[in-house]
Structure 1
Amino acid sequence: MIIIVVLMAFLTMSFYVIDSYQSSISTNNYVQSVYGKVQALYIADAGFNLAKYILDNDDQSVDSLQDKWTLPFNYSQNSSIKVSISIYDENRYINLNLAGDPGYGKIVDNLFKNLMISPEKERNLLVWIGRQEGTFQTGYPVKKAPMDSLYELILIGFKDEDLNGKLLGKDFYPGLIGISTVYTNGKININTAPLWVLKSLDERIDDNLAQKIIEKRSKEPFKQAKDLVLVDGFTFDMLYKIQNYIDVKSDIFHIVVNVGVGSTELKVDYVYDRAEKRIIYKEIL
């Protein structure tokens, strides 16, 4: 009986020792995790400042895919710290917050048609951003104001295929996430705009003409918007129709900084307004 009591006491003491040890390990791991995240945040902000420096000191009269800021930056230190920085210009995309505007709204119309997204979804977008009266089925209060993020499209009821793309027959149609924005003033950079954006500028711009624009700028970036007429098939009438919505430079940039500190991984998205030299959006993932 004594042996059993002693054994029970030993097991009870062992349990408390092990529990205390595990708690100590858990606390230590938590402290290390917090420290790692704080360190990663400091490194991410340093990465952003590096990207900002590159953008601020670049030739701001013309931005193209040949510029140094388009190249990804990677850094590692003894495999314990890893950093990657990518910069994209938001002015290569179509601003959905300007749907319904005279002139620019037609570009948004063309985009939805080109991507094979139903007119009903565009109508819902117009209601959500306050460009049109009405209501629609949603589990959220209709905002009646411009979107702060493209992910509000999910609240509006856009499906995954509308956001990330779909395959219809043998043809792939990209989603809105990859070719639209909510941050710009509506100017679209013809030196960086992807094919689907170029096609949406005017219904007369088909795959062939859009590809000619891309080939022309790959040899030498457009120095001014009117240089588009140097592309075979692009007319002065097309230029007159879209000249108020295009440019050869960018003001808004999306900077993505990925940081690894030991086992801690962190991604920070910044949207930077180079003209006003300020961060207009930041998200830690």
Structure 2
Amino acid sequence: MRRRELFPNVTSEKGVSYEGNRGNAVFMFRLREEGEREERRIDGRRGIALILCLVMLTLLIVIAYQFSFSANVDRHLTGNLSSRSRNYFAARGALALVKGYLKKDITNNPIDTLKDCWVEGEYLKSCDLGQAKVSVEVWDAERLLCLNNMSKKSERFYARTRDSLKRLIEILGIESGDNASLYQRICDYIDEDKDGDYEEGAANKPLFLIEDLLSIDGVTARYYKGWTDKFGTTHKGFYETTTEWGSGRININTAPKEVLMAMSSAISETDADNIIAYREENDFTTVQDLTKVEGLSDIFVRDKSLRDFLTTVSTVFIAHIKAESDGRTLKVRAVFRRDPQGIKLIAWKEE
């Protein structure tokens, strides 16, 4: 009787044959194969774990970067806020400085000139307030042509202001082709009637800010801020010659040459130069003193109503304040009114 084989012939997956009763070898072989498969599964799980670790590490790096970025932004915002706060409070502190000079001036001197303490004050040029450095330049509004006097025909200064504006545009050197239309556009923008040729988009009310002139078609940044022509001649713009504030009268002690000429067709460029030369040595204590200037002895004969539009005393003052700290700057325009009741802040604008 043939011996029964306990195990049939077996061929492994790798092609190795085992015959007959070599079951133990087969068993061991299969066991080894199972072990190899298990190792491969373990290696696969290790690979997945490594990938997951890399993903988690990437996420942690992104999160850490985001926290760092946010912290940096917050730090800069805090720095900006801190600098702005310092500049703001320094600018507010400068208001007291300006008021002090204006009060001192009116106490010691009833007229206003370019030699007064509110112009030449030592602490206005540069001073430290807290951790900010502050500088202030003060203009009296009466040195400038007040355009808001053109808002109502019933205004006392309505006609004179319109005539002065027309002359001023020519004096500033604005191209002749723009003269007539620019003059009319400004008038139509401010005056209350709606019968002009350029009423579209016109406010028909007084200027809220002098920058509102830039809303008028034809008033470019060049005409507003001033410019230098191809011959090297510097021309003032509306910013340095006109205002939305003031009594309407022009202070002959402080007005620039262009405004003096604009006030009357009887004042030539030579006359304006003579006025400026005279006041460098002598103050105009009264409007009548204008007749002491060379060439102007009969000025009030040639322009009988001019006297009513001139003054030697200013009532409104515009302070241009600049506060700086940590490389950041805050510019403010503050307006004061000075009258017998005191000195009041009537406007504040951050630029």
Per the alignment, in what secondary structure is the counterpart of residue 151 of structure 1? helix
Give the TM-score, by structure 2 length.
0.74
Aligned to 1:75: 127
Aligned residues: 282
Would the aligned equivalents of 1:186 and 1:245 in 2 still touch at CA under 8 Å? yes
Would the aligned equivalents of 2:247 and 2:315 in 1 still touch at CA under 8 Å? no
Per the alignment, in what secondary structure is the counterpart of residue 148 of structure 1? coil
Superposed counterparts of 1:26-45, under 5 Å = 26-45=73-92
Q: Is 2:205 the partner of 1:148?
A: no
Aligned to 2:333: 269
CA distance in 2, matches of 1:112, 1:264: 36
Q: Is 2:69 the partner of 1:17?
A: no
Aligned to 1:5: 52
Would the aligned equivalents of 1:73 and 1:85 in 2 still touch at CA under 8 Å? yes
Would the aligned equivalents of 2:334 and 2:349 in 1 still touch at CA under 8 Å? yes
**Higher gyration radius (CA):** 2
The CA deviation at 1:23 is 1.1
- When residues 266 and 167 of structure 1 are mapped into structure 2, their CA distance, relative to the original with a 3 A threshold, is closer
Correspondence for 1:187 among 228, 249, 274: 249
- When residues 168 and 269 of structure 1 are mapped into structure 2, their CA distance, relative to the original with a 3 A threshold, is closer
In the alignment, structure 2 segments of 5+ residues that lack a partner are 1-46
Would the aligned equivalents of 1:92 and 1:188 in 2 still touch at CA under 8 Å? yes
Correspondence for 1:58 among 100, 105, 125: 105
Would the aligned equivalents of 2:184 and 2:198 in 1 still touch at CA under 8 Å? no
Give the TM-score, by structure 1 length.
0.90
Aligned to 2:319: 255
Superposition CA RMSD, Å:
2.3
CA distance in 2, matches of 1:85, 1:273: 17
- When residues 115 and 131 of structure 1 are mapped into structure 2, their CA distance, relative to the original with a 3 A threshold, is farther
- When residues 232 and 54 of structure 1 are mapped into structure 2, their CA distance, relative to the original with a 3 A threshold, is same
Q: Which moved more, 1:35-44 or 1:45-54?
A: 35-44
Q: Is 2:144 the partner of 1:93?
A: yes
CA distance in 2, matches of 1:8, 1:168: 65
Higher relative contact order (CA 8 A, sep 6+): 1
Q: Which moved more, 1:207-216 or 1:261-270?
A: 261-270
Superposed counterparts of 1:207-226, under 5 Å = 207-226=269-288
Aligned to 1:126: 187
Per the alignment, in what secondary structure is the counterpart of residue 115 of structure 2? coil
CA distance in 1, matches of 2:252, 2:167: 16
| 1:91 counterpart letter in structure 2 | E
Would the aligned equivalents of 1:179 and 1:197 in 2 still touch at CA under 8 Å? yes
Aligned to 2:163: 106
Q: Deviations over 1:221-265 (max 9, x none)?
A: 110010000011102314633111111111111112111122432
Aligned to 1:245: 309
CA distance in 2, matches of 1:198, 1:169: 25
CA distance in 2, matches of 1:111, 1:12: 68
- When residues 168 and 270 of structure 1 are mapped into structure 2, their CA distance, relative to the original with a 3 A threshold, is same
Would the aligned equivalents of 1:229 and 1:239 in 2 still touch at CA under 8 Å? no
Q: Is 2:309 the partner of 1:230?
A: no
Per the alignment, in what secondary structure is the counterpart of residue 210 of structure 1? helix
Q: Is 2:163 the partner of 1:163?
A: no
In the alignment, structure 1 segments of 5+ residues that lack a partner are none
The CA deviation at 1:54 is 0.8
| 1:280 counterpart letter in structure 2 | I
Would the aligned equivalents of 1:226 and 1:239 in 2 still touch at CA under 8 Å? no
> Sequence identity, in percent?
21
CA distance in 1, matches of 2:141, 2:98: 15
CA distance in 2, matches of 1:86, 1:160: 22
CA distance in 1, matches of 2:228, 2:136: 31
The CA deviation at 1:188 is 0.6
CA distance in 2, matches of 1:262, 1:167: 33
Per the alignment, in what secondary structure is the counterpart of residue 277 of structure 1? strand
- When residues 137 and 241 of structure 1 are mapped into structure 2, their CA distance, relative to the original with a 3 A threshold, is closer
| 1:283 counterpart letter in structure 2 | K
